[in-house]
A and B are shown apart, each in its own frame.
Chain A
Amino acid sequence: MVFDLKGFELTGFRNLGDAFTVCADLDPEKPALTVFRGTGAAVPETLSYRELARRAGLRAAELAARLPVGERVVIALPTCVEFVELYLGCLLAGLVAVPAPPPVSTKTAAERVAAIAADCSPGLILTTADDREILAERLRTQGLALTVEQVERVGDAEQPPALPAGRQVDGDALAVLQYSSGSTGRPKGVMLDHRNVQVNVAGFNASAGLGAEDVFATWMPMHHDFGLFIQLSCALFAGAHAILMPPTVFARRPVQWFHMLHQFRVTATSAPNFAYDLSLRLISDEQLEGLDLSTLRFVSNGSEPIHAPTVDAFVERFARIGLRPETHTPAYGMAEVTVYVSSTPTGQRHNVLLADPVRLADPDRPELVVAADGGGRPIVGCGRVRMFDLRIVDPRTRQDLPAGAIGEIWLRGESVARGYWNKPELNAEIFRARLAEDGADGPGWLRTGDLGALVDGELFVIGRLKEMMIVRGRNLYPQDLEQEARSAHPSLARFVGAAFAVDAPDERIVLVHEVAPGIPAEELPAVTEAVARRITAAFGAPARNIVLVRRGQVNRTTSGKIQRGTMRQRFLAGRIDAVHAELEPEVRRLMATTDAR
């Protein structure tokens, strides 16, 4: 072979479309994409680089004939080859891909797609035949005159025509509007240009040591930054093979994730923490028969807080099918920088720091220091940040903080997006923040909203700034309270809770926690009492507002993140169906007034 992919430099191309075309030319017969729907399903569909490039080229030509450069195209599809063809087609034709969930995938999905469409006024919305009418109807009732079409298959033998002049965009043209999951009401679309994605994807592959020889596989959805960038784009823009599985296949049978890893001799996969937990719980020992995960060399855990005991249990239990513990790689990232910020070095066990809870909660100078007694809260390290300038900043004074101090994580670098679509005020605040010492015309920083600290050069992420509570002068992090509550009583042990503060008028802690079914009603007061006692003892802050609910009542995102903001709103609006609640009179009154408004 004259050319190979070893010297391939993603950042050297004018745009992502060019980079993909060159990848496809270098090794056209190599498999590019496989959609795996489980071991019981039909033979998985695999496209070579040549075939994927042909189809993407046809999509690009079709779209270019209808839409001007820079127009947005909402792609509301489940995991399928058409999604990938259209994503690449947009990048080739100078259009902006807007990945969105399939409209009927969940109860709120159609509402979410409509909100995305209302926000970015796309030139075209593409979805499945089944979803088209449902979505069109919803858009009509909202008074939105937008074109919704079902995706047709591309022709079998047709070769793509050359694109008209002017469809080739530069690196600073928008490539993707990435809507982060979260509230449906006010969606925020992160504006990523070609350069942002090229730099981030290349940086991730370089840090993780991944390239053309790797096999990437995921069941994360394509409208999520983990699925779209860490998996699909990192594979296709490096000339590697990408295996995709629909998320519902994983939800029905978590073991299918392992079958995918085994069958395709996968080397790189990624998932949020909840998936490791679910696999531990739902995959039985018998199901492991004949499976071999020894080809894996990179298993990343990110996009939600990483729970050290889950990671330990996962690597220990599945070692028997060849999973090597050092493959587990905690990672930190967010949609606002494309996806990737940092991860621990591939092939090394990650660091877990046992943090002194008193120093963590210090009101004036919270710090991350190892607990002297060997106890403390385990915090998983996310590696060194190499691709960005990083500052740990006091969110009140905007001053740069020294090593060990806990503050907001601020970032600057080539893959930071230019902002959210159509949100100029928010962008000035979030994407162009200034340090106190920068003055008015220093370079702008991205405020991540995450709290963290640097210890020996490594980043440790502690929680979300917005969710931090200040009670009696102490800084408290909801996940700490939730973790403490879980261990306060056996009936809470395997359930989730949401801790937040309400102003009554000083900040009061509220904890809404799921309780095991079947606990007799007369025992519930003892449960709340145990929690209150435990939290007060552990944090020195009173926790007098405890609401016990049935399992499933604490809102979580589809990826398992606890929606504390939503729970707080529901609580204040009196829309929580409690099996038992202990509330202070001031807090009870607060709920009444909020309700009346």
Chain B
Amino acid sequence: MTQPRTSEEIRDWLITRIGHYLDRPTEPVDPDASLAEYGLDSVYAFALCGAIEDTLGLSVEPTLVWEVNTVTALTAHLVGLRSDRPAA
């Protein structure tokens, strides 16, 4: 899998990933809707953190998912983390 790099790629990757956890392969997750209201539960919040680490190389805690609460805000947070990181 090519690594998502731009803000749009990260957002689209999150939408696909979260869509898989929520088991809604056809209708995409609305990036501005509340993830808690979608009902993303704690087991999947952990799994999402694992996927973010594996795919984007960024370390995040499951609580972040509830703090940001939308795909758009999560994308912005991840893009911010990435630019803070010293170039490899």
Contact = CB atoms under 8 A, between A and B. Distances in A.
Contacts, number: 43
Interface of B: 22-24, 27, 36-43, 46-47, 49-50, 53-54
B54 A253 contact: yes
A550 B47 contact: no
- Give the interface centre of A494, A514, A516 by most chain B CB atoms within 10 Å: A516
B52 to A, nearest CB: 10
B47 A551 contact: no
A375 interface: no
A505 interface: no
Contact of B46 (A251, A514, A516): A251
B40 A552 contact: yes
Contact of A517 (B24, B50, B53): B24
Interface in A524-562: 550-553, 560
Contacts of A553: 39
8 closest Cβ pairs, A-B complex: A551-B39, A252-B50, A552-B41, A251-B46, A550-B39, A552-B39, A253-B50, A517-B38
Nearest to B1: A286
A494 B50 CA distance: 22
B41 A252 contact: no
A466 to B, nearest CB: 25
Given A252-B53, A253-B54, A494-B23, A517 B39 contact: yes
B17 to A, nearest CB: 11
B39 A252 contact: no
Interface footprint category on A: 10 to 19
Contacts of B43: 251, 278, 560
Contacts of B54: 253
Given A517-B38, A551-B22, A252 B46 contact: yes
A516 B23 contact: yes
A185 interface: no
24 contacts: A248-B46, A251-B46, A251-B47, A251-B50, A252-B49, A252-B50, A253-B50, A253-B54, A254-B47, A282-B47, A494-B23, A514-B39, A516-B23, A517-B24, A517-B37, A518-B24, A550-B37, A550-B39, A551-B38, A551-B41, A552-B36, A552-B39, A552-B40, A552-B42
B29 to A, nearest CB: 8
Interface of A: 248, 251-254, 278, 282, 494, 514, 516-518, 550-553, 560
B42 to A, nearest CB: 8
A514 B23 CA distance: 13
Nearest to B52: A252
A254 B46 CA distance: 10
A278 B38 CA distance: 19
A79 to B, nearest CB: 15
A552 B46 CA distance: 14
- Give the interface centre of B23, B36, B39, B54 by most chain A CB atoms within 10 Å: B39
Contacts of B49: 252
Contacts of B36: 552
B40 A516 contact: no
Nearest to A284: B20
Contacts of B47: 251-254, 282
Nearest to B26: A518
A489 B47 CA distance: 27
A551 B40 contact: yes
Nearest to A550: B39
A573 to B, nearest CB: 21
Given A248-B46, A252-B47, A252-B49, 15 more contacts: A251-B43, A251-B46, A252-B46, A252-B50, A253-B54, A254-B47, A278-B43, A282-B47, A516-B22, A517-B22, A550-B38, A551-B39, A551-B41, A552-B40, A553-B39
Nearest to B49: A252
A283 to B, nearest CB: 11
Contacts of B23: 494, 516
Contact of A516 (B24, B37, B41): B24
Nearest to A553: B39
A519 to B, nearest CB: 10
Contacts of A253: 47, 50, 54
B48 to A, nearest CB: 9
A518 B37 CA distance: 11
A517 B37 CA distance: 8
Contacts of A551: 22, 38-41
A253 B36 CA distance: 21
A445 to B, nearest CB: 37
A324 B41 CA distance: 32
Contacts of A552: 36, 39-42
Nearest to A518: B27
B6 to A, nearest CB: 24
- Give the interface centre of A251, A494, A514, A516 by most chain B CB atoms within 10 Å: A251
Contacts of A252: 46-47, 49-50, 53
Contacts of A517: 22, 24, 37-39
A516 B37 CA distance: 11
A517 B38 CA distance: 6
